[in-house]
A = this chain, B = another copy of it.
Amino acid sequence: MPRATSSECHFADPVELRSAIRSGRWLEPTINQCPGFVQCNLVVLPRGDAFDFLLFAQRNPKACPVIEVMDPGDPAPKFSAAGADLRTDLGRYAICRKGCVVEAGGIMDLWREDSVAFLIGSSLSFDYLLEACGVPRSQVWVLDTEIPTAPAGKFHGPLVVTMRWMTAEQAILATRLTARYPLLHGTPMHIGDPSEIGAKLTKPLYGPPVTHIPKGVTPVFWACGVTPKRAALDAGVEQMITHVSGRAFVTDLRVDRLGL
Contacts and interface: CB of A to CB of B under 8 A. Distances in A.
Contacts of A58: 54, 58, 66, 69
Given A50-B51, A55-B54, A79 B150 contact: yes
Interface in A58-85: 58-59, 66, 69, 71, 79
A222 to B, nearest CB: 15
B69 A182 contact: no
Contacts of A152: 71
A214 interface: no
A126 B228 CA distance: 32
A59 B182 CA distance: 16
Nearest to A67: B58
A153 B69 CA distance: 12
Interface in A8-63: 47, 50-51, 54-55, 58-59
A65 B47 CA distance: 23
A69 B47 CA distance: 19
Contacts of A51: 47, 50-51, 54
A259 interface: yes
18 contacts: A47-B51, A50-B51, A51-B51, A51-B54, A54-B54, A54-B55, A54-B58, A55-B69, A58-B58, A58-B66, A58-B69, A59-B69, A59-B79, A71-B152, A71-B153, A79-B150, A182-B182, A182-B259
Interface of A: 47, 50-51, 54-55, 58-59, 66, 69, 71, 79, 150, 152-153, 182, 259
